[in-house]
Amino acid sequence: MTLLEDLARALAGGSLEIVDLTHTLDPDFPVIVLPPELGQCARFRMEEVSHYDHRGPAWKWHNISMSEHTGTHFDAPSHWVSGRDVANGSVDEIPAGNLMAPAVVIDCSAGSAENDDFELTPDILLEWERAHGSIPAGCWVLMRTDWSHRSGAAYLNMRDDGPHSPGPTPDAVRFLVDERNILGFGTETIGTDAGQGAHYTPPYPAHFYLHGAGKYGLQCLCNLDKLPATGAMLVTPPLKIRNGTGSPLRVLALKET
């Protein structure tokens, strides 16, 4: 038997399950909101071209528009100024071999339920490693917060001083990049950084350190509560947009049942 025959049999037989980590693209799904003097991220929009009618009697189709960073989406290194000169830094240049990789899940759901500004720290990562082993090089690290259970205004959680949502500290991101050489970092929130991530040094440390090192981001993920701490495999191909800095995508996770 070949590896791929074994894979096909495992999928057909149910010993492997595919978990969809993707929110539905919908005009109501929140997008990041920046201070008004800055450029803004566009929501998803869909217009009907025909609906089995005089505009196209036998077919239905739509034109769609959105930001590269709308909905469940991929961040490429060129998204951030620290990654502007990284080789293969836009979505069309990412090697196909980087689009399937193992994932580990760091469960921060209890802390995030008590503190909207919960921080993922190196201590939490080291505690996780004591239970599950060292975070392997080349893997996705997913920060589970159960934030995907929120919707509407509670998702951005905007207050007078800006959005409040969990995220990693600068030291945690540097640990993952410098000490563990991960492939990328994924979250359930609107960005890979905390809502208050502008106040760290450097500002938005996940974007700064990940993309400066050629690493990737995933955000607005869901169903992380259905994944094991280790052993899942992610499939994450963004759209092949020339010079694109990111892309909505369908994120699939394979796990053993």
Interface region with Mn ion, contact rule CB under 5 A, candidates 85-93, 102-110, 202-210, 242-250: 242-250
Residue closest to Mn ion, measured at CB: 69
Distance CA 128, CA 105 (A): 9
Least Å from the CB of residue 246 to Mn ion:
5
Q: Does 75 bind Mn ion (CB under 5 A)?
A: yes
Phi, psi dihedrals of residue 184, rounded to the nearest 5°: -175, 175
Interface region with Mn ion, contact rule CB under 5 A, candidates 2-10, 67-75, 83-91, 197-205: 67-75
Residue 90 or residue 128: which is nearer to Mn ion going by CB? 90
Q: Does 188 bind Mn ion (CB under 5 A)?
A: no
Residue 112 or residue 187: which is nearer to Mn ion going by CB? 187
The answer to whether 118 touches 112, Cβ cutoff 8 Å, is yes
Interface region with Mn ion, contact rule CB under 5 A, candidates 61-69, 84-92, 124-132, 231-239: 61-69
Q: Does 69 bind Mn ion (CB under 5 A)?
A: yes
Q: Which of 69, 73, 79, 207 is catalytic?
A: 79
Q: 140-144 and 100-107 as β-strands: parallel, antiparallel, unpaired?
A: parallel
Residues 69, 71, 73, CA angle at the centre, nearest 5°?
A: 55
Distance CA 62, CA 60 (A): 7
Q: 249 burial class (0-12, 13-18, 19+ CB within 10 angstroms)? A: buried
Residue 124 or residue 167: which is nearer to Mn ion going by CB? 167
Q: Does 207 bind Mn ion (CB under 5 A)?
A: no
Least Å from the CB of residue 42 to Mn ion:
13
Among 182, 191, 165, 192, smallest CA distance to 234 is for 182
Question: Catalytic: 199?
Answer: no
Backbone region of residue 128 per phi and psi (left: phi > 0; alpha: psi in -120 to 50; beta: other values): alpha
Q: Does 193 bind Mn ion (CB under 5 A)?
A: no
Residue 71 or residue 170: which is nearer to Mn ion going by CB? 71
CA dist list (Å): 43 to 30, 64, 206: 7, 10, 23
Distance CA 242, CA 153 (A): 33
Least Å from the CB of residue 3 to Mn ion:
34
Residue 78 or residue 254: which is nearer to Mn ion going by CB? 78
Distance CA 162, CA 156 (A): 9
Interface region with Mn ion, contact rule CB under 5 A, candidates 22-30, 103-111, 238-246, 248-256: 238-246
- Known catalytic residues are 79
For Mn ion, the binding residues (CB under 5 A) are 69, 75, 246
